[in-house]
Each structure stands twice: as structure tokens, then as C-alpha cells.
Chain A
Amino acid sequence: MLSRMLVGLLIAGSGCGGGPVPVLAPERVFLSEIEHLVRASVAVRGTRPSLDELSQVEADPDALPALVDVWLQSPEFGETIRDLHAEMLLVRADTLPQFPALGALAGLSLAEVHASVSEEPLRLAEDIVLSDRPYTEILTADWMWADRTLAKIYGLPFDPDGPVLQLSWWTDGRPAAGLLSSSELFHRHASNGNNFHRGRANLIASTFLCDDISQRPIEIVDPPVVTEVDEVTEAIATNPACGGCHQALEPIASFLWGYKPVLPNKVMNSFLLGDCEEVEFNLELLPAGAGFAEDVCYPLRLYSPAEERVWEELGLPHPALYGSPGERVSDLGALIIDDPRFAACSARRFYAYLTQVDPEGVDPGLASALGQDLVDSGYSVRSLVRQVVLSDTFRTARGDGSDPDAGLLTVRPEQYARTIEALTRFRWIVEDTVGCGTKCWGAVDLARSDVFGFRALSGGSDGIRRTSPTHTATPTKLLAMTRFAAEAADFAVLDGVLLDGTITDRTAVRVQIGALRRRVLQASDDPDAPQVDALLALFDDAVARRGDPAAGWKLVLTALLTDPEMIHP
């Protein structure tokens, strides 16, 4: 369907003048069923297919759609949804200061704190998509998922004897608005103080409606000399150059005044170290609405219904979304959903993530059509994802030039980590516990961290400086992948996972290499295939140099885990 649409768009854009111009376009070639199985599995789950799934498609080339339906209900798909929303909301920024592991959080590692708070909005999105609820609920939901740490940070309802993750809700009087009720979203994007929530407003418009208001042209003529808030407010309202952005931004920002300012970590630290017994602020230095113990001591209160109408006191515009008025942040969620751009923007983001293209570069006609499909499906993201991964664009091996979105993908760092773990049970964990006092990170996943790890170096987003991923091979990605693969191979051989590292018999070596190729790359397990010869040469070379068959198997497995077909499914 996607390819047909692109052809239509190309025809529509080709003009009517003159006769047909013969063009010798290369022929589009599609992936084999097995290759399509692999690409779809990595995109949907972040892991490669199991041997059983491989056998199913070998037996029935039409088995993939049914497998995709199963995958779309798996926890691994939930992880993919979290990854996608992390990239969208930029909340997995571990190089930023974390909430202090003091007071009620004493004894916790910063990794635990970071994981709890950063995954909070992502778990809501995961829940809505995995349970196939309408995607509109990401802006209306009146629940969220909390773990013990998050419950302590925000004082959320939580049964200490219950499961690790529990359904919970905000108790500070904030309206129910799904992600717009997320503390972490507004903790990470701390656009307050003199910015008056404008940065947050732009984040909301650009994320959910694909309207980056701050890209609008600015040309200020005879700028007013403004210092006080009311002067700024008047300038924004009356100066046409300011109005281009601000007349759209300000009314959205006015929905957000219930969110209290987030104070710097060093302030929290100093109060928490003093057990929060005497909290005295220099109010002159604080943003409006700040200056209470609950701003700096757990449980934090990030929302105050009493502050919702501060915009009124400041003479700012009434809350509205592009002219449609509302009152509270729940109204903002409803208005966004009603905006036709929401469906198209959501579809654009899912399509872009799965096909690894820039969301801004997705053809508007395609985004609009996919958005309509999303609406028609009752906002089923599972249906949308199924549609994309089974499309001709997605299963293209070689493009014909008509579809720039088609062709090889590049494994993301999160996908690679899940793939390695699924194959070898190895997780790339480092322990940061010695000599760091209350600033210990504890167990850090090197594949998913930028404090200690290699996520951005492997093409991922760090959520702060690298805000979009790199979808191709780079020297640092290859260096990091090779190191990761080598450690996984070391682990797998030592622990006897996936292979027997003592095998030296020539025939048995060939058979095991064949089996590894099938398991790791979903390739033929023919022990006499030429590809086996190449890996056998690697094995022999390593054994000859190191005098140890285990070294040979580690090198073979490292080669398979860094194979071009692993890097580019």
C-alpha cells in the first residue's frame, strides 16, 4: 500500500507537459521471506527470529503476517514502543543530573533513580499500545505505572507488598491527560521561570502535532526595550514580529501553569542533606510558584492546581490551542486529539522510526494517508506498525529510486543489546559502586547509557545533545559493537551458551559454524557452504596464534555478531 501511494505521488508530481520520457530505472528487488522475517523482527521486537520462527517461514513463506501479530503482543514490542517514545520525548538523558539518592531515596543507585523516572511516561505509552487501546489515550489517560522508587519520589499510591510495577495515579490534583500529566516530561523539559512554559509549549506542538513553532521566521523591527514581565507580555502581544511565534505559543503555555518549577539538583541536595528540617529559600532567586519544602524534599509535588491560573495574573493569553479555548491541561490533550494533525503526526513518527527516516522528511501525503488509516483503525498502533512492516517499502532489498525510504536498516544500540542478550544471555553491565558515596550509579547498562556507556557512540540518541539517531555505520559504532560482541562472545564461550568452545574436530567445527550461522544470522546451516569456509579460516587463524580453540570460537562468534547482516538487517 505504501509503495502504491508513493508511485501515485510521483505521478502526480511529474507534470503534464510533453510526451513520456524514457527512464531506465533500476528494478526494485524485494527481500526473501526469510530476510523480511529478520528485518521485521528486529524492527518490531529488537531481536532476530528464533529457530522455530525461522522454520515456520521456511515451511510456509506466508507465515510472517501471523508471526507479526504475535510479536505485536510481546513484551519486546513494548520495549520498542518505549524506545520510540524515548527518542520522541528525549527523556532518557542520563548525562543530566539525576534526583539525589538522599532522604527517602537513600541507598538507591542513580541508575535505579534514572530508570524509574525516565521510564515513567514511556511505560504509559507502552501500556496503551500493548493493550491495543486507542493511541489517543496517551493524551487522556488517568493512570500511570509506578515502581517503588517513583512512588517515593512523588508520593504515589503504591503497595509495598505488591508487584514491582503497579498501576498508580497522580494525587496532587493534576488533570488526567496521559503524557501531558507526566512529571518526568516536565522535569526533563524544565521550561519555566522567565520562559513561562514556552519551551514546553513548543515541545508539545512539535511532538504531537509536528508543528515546530520556534522554526517560524523572526524579524524584529524596532524592538521594544523590555525588562518587566508585563512589558514582555505586551511586546509579545503587540509586536508583529514577536507574534509570529508567540501568539501560537503563549496560549498553549497557559495550559501548563499548574506545573511547578523544577529546582536545580544542587538546591535539592543541600536541603536533603539537612533532612529538610528547616527549608528556607531566597525567594527572590526562585521562579514564581517555587519556595516550598515539597519543591526540594521527597515526596516532590510537581503540580499545584492553585497555580493553574497564574497566566491570568501575569496578563498572558487565555489557554487555547490555535484559537480553540480550554481551561486545564486535560482540555489541551483533548484539543490536540481533535486536531487532524495529531493522527498524521503520530503516523509520521511511527513510520519514520520503523523505516529509519527523518520524521520531518516523511512525505506529507504519505503521513496523511497513514494518519487516516490510524483513525480508521480506532487509533490502533499495532495495526499501523503491522501495515508498515508488511509494506513493500519495508521489504525492499534494493530500491528503484522511487522510494527513498526503502532499503537496508541499521541496527539501533537498543536493538543490538536485546539481540545480543537473546542470543547469548549476555548483558553489557558495569558496576559503579566504589568510592562514589551517594553518587554511585550502580549497575549501568553500557549499551543504553551515555554516562559510562556507548549509546550515542553507537548511533543512538543521548536525549540532550544527540537528539536524533544516526542510521548508518560509523567508526565509533563499529568500535563499540566489536567490543560489545567480543565480550558477549567471551561470555558465551566461557558459559557454554550457544556453542561448545572446546570443539576441534574438523567436521564438528564445520557443523557448529553452520549451526551458529543459522542461529545468529538466520542463514543456511550447510557445513560446506563457502561462508563456513571463511569463518573456518578465522577459527584456524586464531587457534594457530593463540593455541586455544576457545579463542577461535570467540573470534568466530564475534565475527558473526558484527556481520554486515547483523549491522544492517
Chain B
Amino acid sequence: MSWTRRAVLGSSLAGLLAGVSARGASVGKRRLILVYADGGWDTSYVFDPKPGGATVEGPEVDQDIDNPDDVEALRSFGNLTVQVNPARRPAATQYFERWARRTAVVNGLFVGAIGHPQARARVLTGVVGTGQLGPDLAHIAGAAHAEGLPIGCVDLSGFSSSGSLAPTAIQLGARGQLGALLDDGVQIRPRPDGSPPMLWLPDDDDLAALSAHRLARTEALRVRRGTGHDRSGQRLDDLVVATERSDALRARGEAFTELVVPGIEPSMSNQVDMALALLAGDVCQSVFMDTGLNWDTHVDTASQHTYFETLFKELDRMVGDLQSLSMLDDTLVVVISEMTRTPTRNSKGGKDHWPHTSAMLIGGGTAGGQVLGHTDAWLQALPVDLDSGLPDAGGDKLTYASFAAGVLERLDVDPGDWLAGVRPWRAGCS
């Protein structure tokens, strides 16, 4: 894997040296917005309806018989059929009315784990792990096409995994702390009561001098230690890349820093604004964001209505803005959660963990208007043809690894570099 990493870091560096104002060779490479729903959504509420209740207690259980509008129903948008409820989840209906033709729903994605960190690692990186994880899809795609951009991937959520690509990526911080680092006007450290404010902070000239000094010292250290491609050499490579990217970010960070409010945990709405600004401002190639909601409804499954409503309301806005900015064709939006919920409800009216999930692919490279993959009566993944997404008893189960490899392929990244031997999921490519 190390050769891949060096190649990625090296090509990015070359682009940076050519100037941050031009995107260079990465122009035309598909961007990625990865939207992560943390905690495990209930796929039966929208993506994977199981009407009838024989095996799956879906959203129909929550219907209020006194409310004539509170009706769960299947609705087809072209060839895309999902579960809707005009009273509880109107935004989902509105979303599919507008964007079904740009959206592919993927059901029957086998995760094979029911612990949150374990399942999260699998769906986001395509590999098994919980410790120091490898890079997730957003970081791989970001680093691969970051030439000419300050940053490969920006994580607005804190859930991402940068792995070996950390020098190409940044994170916002749980309360938007990055904003304070990029804006000298934000006072991090008020002096004790009554004393004057800070007298000195490095200005742009100081920061440029510091970076130049650090880069020169790094090369001197490399020569003195004689480092090559060992761990020490990698650390020094990373230091050079991180220094140059932090400088480039400072030069371009105003594209989104005005949207960052240090001290506030960003909602999905805030994150959508920032994601659009970051991509439109050519600050980065990919964005990792989350829904700002905890979908882990062990006690009250009915909360999923509200969560899906928020999700689709913001997705509707985001996809609309991408369209308005003429960015939808070259931006892939992946929406995913680490697992779904058990078919039936527990004694507290909640649902527990189930090792399968669904996803949505929206926009660039997606043949929309269809549902791909399928599940049995208990929401379990069934074999499909990985190229067509159609049921195929002799086919393969769509695994987290195949799905991840397929997403990378859609983003012009050779999945074999990161997921060796994994057959990519090619269904739904436009």
C-alpha cells in the first residue's frame, strides 16, 4: 500500500507547487460528498419497504389511526419504489419527486457486524478494522484528485478515517474549531479579566517565513538522518505535504470560514452549506459530513420518521444547489449508515442492530431512478449480479467491500490500489 500512498502524496504535492489557484489535472475528476447517518437507520422506513408486517415491523406500526394523512404507502417514482408517508416524512416524498431520476437506492448491503465502530469502519473504508483504520472512501477519493487543490478531503463530522492520507486532509472539529485557526480575528484565548488582548500573532508574512523555515529544516533533518522510504522518511514526507497544504488552506480558507461558527456543533444544514462552499470554492475534492443525528433508536423507533425527514429535507436542498451550481454531474453523493435495525421491535418500542444496510447514490456517474440489490423478508442481503444489481441466486452478496470498491471506481480511482482482490459493484453506473 505504501507505494500508492507515496504516489498520492507526491502527485498532490506537484499540483500544489504548480499553484493553488488552478485545479490542473484534477479538473473533471468526480467530486464526492459522503453523508453518514451515525447509529444505524431503519431501512424499512424508506429504502426497503416490507409491507404487511409479517416479518418486519416497519413504519406502519407508528401510524395514527385518527390522522387520515398518516398513511404509510409504497410509491413509485419511475422505477424507483420507496416507502412514503405524507404526514410524517413529506420531505422524502418531495425529494424523490424532484431527484428520483438522479438517485439510485441500493438495498441488501451486507455489513456483517453489529457493533457501531466495527460496522462503521466496514461501510466507510471497505475493510475490517477498529484500531488505527485505513483511509475511508472520502479520503481516498479526495487525495487521488487533489492536484491543484489545497486539501483532499474535509471532514465536517469527526467520524471519518484519514489513515495514511492524513497529511492531505483536514477536520472541522467538534465545535468548528478549525474556523478559529484559519481566522486570526477569532480570539481563542481571552486574557484574564481586565488585561489587554493578545499583543502578537503571526501575520501572513510571519507564517510564510515559519513554513519556509520548517521546510528547510525538514530537508536538513532528512539529509542528516539519511531517511529513505522507512517510517522516518514517511513522517518527513508527510510533514512537507501537511505544511504546504496548511499554507494553501490558509490562502483559500475564506471560501468557507465565514460559515463556521466556532463553539457550535454543526447541524446537517450547516454542513450542507459548508460542503457546497468547499467544493464550489475549489478548497477540496471530497467532503465527509454526517446528519447531525443519532439514529441508534433502541428505545423509540418512531424517531426515525423525524430523522428521515431532516435527512431528505437537507438532501433535497443540497442536490438542488449542486444542480444550480452545475456541479451535480461531476459530484457523486453517497448517503449511508453503518447498519439497519432488527426486523421487529423490542420491548421498549425500539429496534436493535442488524448487520445489513442500504445506501443512496446520487448525481455524478449514477444511473438514477432505480432500486438496486435486494433483501429477503428479514431485511437480509440476497445474492445479486454485481454488474446489474438484479437478483441472481447464483450471484454474490453485495458486501461492504464490493460497494466501497464500486464507489471508488465511480470516482476514477482504481479500487485495486486500496481493496485488492475485491470485485467492484458496478450496478447503477451511468
Cβ-neighbour of B214 out of A202, A429, A559 (below 8 A): A559
In the complex where A429-B189, A450-B174 touch, is A223 in contact with B343 (Cβ < 8 A)? yes
Residue of B nearest to A489 (CB): B200
Task: Looking at the assembled complex, report how far the CB atom of A176 sits from the nearest CB atom of chain B, in whole angstroms.
Answer: 29
How many Å lie between the Cα of A142 and that of B344 in the bound state?
43
User: Does chain B have a CB within 8 A of A358?
Assistant: yes
How many Å lie between the Cα of A225 and that of B227 in the bound state?
60
Q: Is the Cβ of A407 less than 8 Å from the Cβ of B235?
A: yes
In the complex where A486-B200, A487-B189, A564-B217 touch, is A452 in contact with B263 (Cβ < 8 A)? yes
Q: Is the Cβ of A285 less than 8 Å from the Cβ of B299?
A: yes
How many Å lie between the Cα of A217 and that of B188 in the bound state?
47
| B378 proximity list for chain A (CB < 8 A) | 220, 223
Cβ-neighbour of A457 out of B177, B189, B218 (below 8 A): B177
Q: Is the Cβ of B115 less than 8 Å from the Cβ of A541?
A: no
18 contacts between A and B (CB under 8 A): A193-B348, A194-B350, A212-B118, A218-B112, A225-B344, A399-B230, A452-B175, A454-B173, A454-B181, A471-B132, A473-B238, A476-B171, A476-B246, A486-B202, A559-B210, A559-B214, A562-B210, A564-B236
Interface-centre pick from B159, B242, B380 (highest chain A CB count, 10 A): B242
User: Does chain B have a CB within 8 A of A482?
Assistant: yes
Residue of B nearest to A478 (CB): B246
Residue of B nearest to A206 (CB): B130
Q: Is the Cβ of A564 less than 8 Å from the Cβ of B218?
A: yes
Docked complex: A396-447 residues within 8 A CB-CB of B: 396-401, 404-408, 410, 428-431, 446
How many Å lie between the Cα of A199 and that of B206 in the bound state?
50
How many Å lie between the Cα of A231 and that of B402 in the bound state?
34
| A472 proximity list for chain B (CB < 8 A) | 166-167, 234-235, 238-239, 242
Q: Is the Cβ of B225 less than 8 Å from the Cβ of A397?
A: yes
User: Does chain A have a CB within 8 A of B205?
Assistant: yes
Q: Classify chain A's interface size.
A: 35 or more
Cβ-neighbour of A487 out of B114, B198, B221, B250 (below 8 A): B198
| A487 proximity list for chain B (CB < 8 A) | 188-189, 198, 201
Task: Looking at the assembled complex, report how far the CB atom of A542 sits from the nearest CB atom of chain B, in whole angstroms.
Answer: 6
How many Å lie between the Cα of A558 and that of B206 in the bound state?
10
B-side residues, CB < 8 A to A, are 55, 112-115, 117-118, 128-133, 151, 157-159, 162, 166-167, 169-171, 173-175, 177-178, 181-182, 188-190, 192, 198-202, 205-207, 209-210, 213-214, 216-218, 220-221, 225-228, 230-236, 238-239, 241-243, 245-246, 249-250, 263, 298-299, 342-348, 350, 352, 355, 378, 380
In the complex where A193-B298, A487-B198 touch, is A401 in contact with B230 (Cβ < 8 A)? yes
| B157 proximity list for chain A (CB < 8 A) | 465
| A535 proximity list for chain B (CB < 8 A) | 213
Q: Is the Cβ of B236 less than 8 Å from the Cβ of A408?
A: yes
A-B CB proximity, top 8 nearest: A407-B231, A399-B230, A214-B115, A407-B232, A475-B246, A465-B158, A358-B132, A473-B242
Docked complex: A31-45 residues within 8 A CB-CB of B: none
In the complex where A218-B113, A408-B231 touch, is A483 in contact with B132 (Cβ < 8 A)? no
Cβ-neighbour of A478 out of B209, B231, B232, B242 (below 8 A): B242
Q: Is the Cβ of A565 less than 8 Å from the Cβ of B167?
A: no
User: Does chain B have a CB within 8 A of A276?
Assistant: no
Q: Is the Cβ of B200 less than 8 Å from the Cβ of A194?
A: no
User: Does chain B have a CB within 8 A of A504?
Assistant: no
Residue of B nearest to A429 (CB): B189
Q: Is the Cβ of A26 less than 8 Å from the Cβ of B230?
A: yes
| B113 proximity list for chain A (CB < 8 A) | 214-215, 218
Residue of A nearest to B232 (CB): A407
Q: Is the Cβ of A220 less than 8 Å from the Cβ of B130?
A: no
User: Does chain B have a CB within 8 A of A5?
Assistant: no
Task: Looking at the assembled complex, report how far the CB atom of A392 sits from the nearest CB atom of chain B, in whole angstroms.
Answer: 14
Q: Is the Cβ of A223 less than 8 Å from the Cβ of B198?
A: no
| A494 proximity list for chain B (CB < 8 A) | 199
Cβ-neighbour of A194 out of B129, B245, B348 (below 8 A): B348
User: Does chain B have a CB within 8 A of A555?
Assistant: yes
Task: Looking at the assembled complex, report how far the CB atom of B45 sits from the nearest CB atom of chain A, in whole angstroms.
Answer: 18
How many Å lie between the Cα of A446 and that of B190 in the bound state?
12
User: Does chain B have a CB within 8 A of A466?
Assistant: yes
User: Does chain B have a CB within 8 A of A563?
Assistant: yes
Docked complex: A528-569 residues within 8 A CB-CB of B: 531, 534-535, 538, 541-542, 545, 550-551, 554-555, 558-559, 562-565, 567-568
In the complex where A406-B230, A534-B213, A541-B209 touch, is A473 in contact with B173 (Cβ < 8 A)? no
User: Does chain B have a CB within 8 A of A360?
Assistant: yes
Q: Is the Cβ of B225 less than 8 Å from the Cβ of A217?
A: no
How many Å lie between the Cα of A239 and that of B78 in the bound state?
40
Cβ-neighbour of A476 out of B55, B181, B241 (below 8 A): B181
Interface string of A194-223 (1 = CB under 8 A from B): 110001001000100000101101111001
| B246 proximity list for chain A (CB < 8 A) | 475-476, 478-479
Q: Is the Cβ of B344 less than 8 Å from the Cβ of A483?
A: no
| B245 proximity list for chain A (CB < 8 A) | 475
Residue of A nearest to B397 (CB): A219
Q: Is the Cβ of B242 less than 8 Å from the Cβ of A456?
A: no
A-side residues, CB < 8 A to B, are 26, 29, 95, 193-195, 199, 202, 206, 212, 214-215, 217-220, 223, 225-229, 232, 245, 285, 358-361, 396-401, 404-408, 410, 428-431, 446, 450-454, 456-457, 462, 465-480, 482-483, 486-487, 489-490, 494, 531, 534-535, 538, 541-542, 545, 550-551, 554-555, 558-559, 562-565, 567-568
Cβ-neighbour of A468 out of B131, B210, B221 (below 8 A): B131
Task: Looking at the assembled complex, report how far the CB atom of A413 sits from the nearest CB atom of chain B, in whole angstroms.
Answer: 12
Task: Looking at the assembled complex, report how far the CB atom of A478 sits from the nearest CB atom of chain B, in whole angstroms.
Answer: 5
Cβ-neighbour of B178 out of A220, A465, A476 (below 8 A): A476
How many Å lie between the Cα of A492 and that of B133 in the bound state?
39
Q: Is the Cβ of A486 less than 8 Å from the Cβ of B201?
A: yes
How many Å lie between the Cα of A410 and that of B231 in the bound state?
11
| A217 proximity list for chain B (CB < 8 A) | 112
Cβ-neighbour of B202 out of A360, A477, A482 (below 8 A): A482
How many Å lie between the Cα of A431 and that of B113 in the bound state?
43
16 new A-B contacts, CB < 8 A, other than A225-B55, A225-B343, A565-B217, are A26-B228, A29-B226, A194-B348, A194-B350, A215-B118, A220-B380, A223-B343, A229-B347, A285-B348, A404-B231, A408-B227, A408-B232, A457-B171, A474-B162, A482-B202, A534-B216
Residue of A nearest to B150 (CB): A475
How many Å lie between the Cα of A75 and that of B328 in the bound state?
56
Task: Looking at the assembled complex, report how far the CB atom of A90 sits from the nearest CB atom of chain B, in whole angstroms.
Answer: 10
| A457 proximity list for chain B (CB < 8 A) | 171, 173, 177-178, 181
Task: Looking at the assembled complex, report how far the CB atom of A3 sits from the nearest CB atom of chain B, in whole angstroms.
Answer: 14
Q: Is the Cβ of B298 less than 8 Å from the Cβ of A194?
A: yes
How many Å lie between the Cα of A399 and that of B130 in the bound state?
27
Q: Is the Cβ of A482 less than 8 Å from the Cβ of B128?
A: no
Residue of A nearest to B158 (CB): A465
How many Å lie between the Cα of A504 and that of B171 in the bound state?
41
Q: Is the Cβ of B236 less than 8 Å from the Cβ of A568?
A: yes
Task: Looking at the assembled complex, report how far the CB atom of A249 sits from the nearest CB atom of chain B, in whole angstroms.
Answer: 10
| B190 proximity list for chain A (CB < 8 A) | 430-431
Q: Is the Cβ of A406 less than 8 Å from the Cβ of B231?
A: yes
In the complex where A194-B348, A558-B202 touch, is A398 in contact with B177 (Cβ < 8 A)? no
In the complex where A215-B128, A462-B158 touch, is A456 in contact with B173 (Cβ < 8 A)? yes
Task: Looking at the assembled complex, report how far the CB atom of A202 sits from the nearest CB atom of chain B, in whole angstroms.
Answer: 7
How many Å lie between the Cα of A67 and that of B234 in the bound state?
30
Q: Is the Cβ of B230 less than 8 Å from the Cβ of A407?
A: yes
| B118 proximity list for chain A (CB < 8 A) | 212, 214-215
Q: Is the Cβ of B249 less than 8 Å from the Cβ of A475?
A: yes
How many Å lie between the Cα of A399 and that of B209 in the bound state?
32
How many Å lie between the Cα of A194 and that of B206 in the bound state?
57
Task: Looking at the assembled complex, report how far the CB atom of A11 sits from the nearest CB atom of chain B, in whole angstroms.
Answer: 20
Q: Is the Cβ of B352 less than 8 Å from the Cβ of A194?
A: yes
| A565 proximity list for chain B (CB < 8 A) | 217, 221
In the complex where A474-B162, A478-B243, A563-B217 touch, is A542 in contact with B115 (Cβ < 8 A)? no
Q: Is the Cβ of B198 less than 8 Å from the Cβ of A490?
A: yes
Residue of B nearest to A402 (CB): B230
| B177 proximity list for chain A (CB < 8 A) | 452-454, 457
